[in-house]
Amino acid sequence: MTERLPVRHVKTDKVAELPTATWSNCLVLGNEIAISGMTAHPASRDNKLGAYEQTMVVLEKIRALAEAAGGGIHNIYKLVIYVTDIADKDEVGRARRDFFQSPYPCSTLVGVNGLVFPELKVEIDAFARLDVDLRTAVQTAA
């Protein structure tokens, strides 16, 4: 019989997870942290937040979940970023530079027609490992 990975459903008061939700914001599977697509909602609902500001709100939610899972932003190795206007890529990139240190997580940027609420400009999925620390990465030449 194959040994099963322990699974933890991680929650934090810093990121709402509604009792009616049909998803988990954060699961830890062994050493792997999977974080569902985060948006700037509800902060974006009453405020006119640009792509930079929304990205920073989202990254702070991801930080809170990674820390609640026992890690930090240095454990994040991959982001998948969805934007409703590909022209916002520079502002999203600026937010990533302001939030992370080099080496940056691997990243995919995808333009989409829309997100769950019309005011949203950015949604980000994040993947981390508790046994990975990007602060110790060694640069190799090609």
Res 57: pLDDT: 97
pLDDT at 1 over 80: no
Domain ranges within the chain, ordered by starting residue: 7-131
Res 96: pLDDT: 98
Torsion over CA: 82, 58, 132, 32 (sign) = negative
Placement of tokens 């080496």 in the chain: 103
Distant-in-sequence, close-in-space partners of 3: CB < 8 Å, separation ≥ 6: none
Res 44: pLDDT: 80
- Determine whether domain 7-131 maps to CATH 1.10.10.10: no
- How many CB atoms are closer than 10 A to CB 13? 8
Res 99: pLDDT: 98
Predicted TM-score of the model (pTM): 0.94
Q: What is the largest CA-CA distance in the chain?
A: 54
**For the residues 31-45, what does the mean pLDDT come to?**
93
Strands 7-9 and 26-29: antiparallel
pLDDT at 43 over 90: no
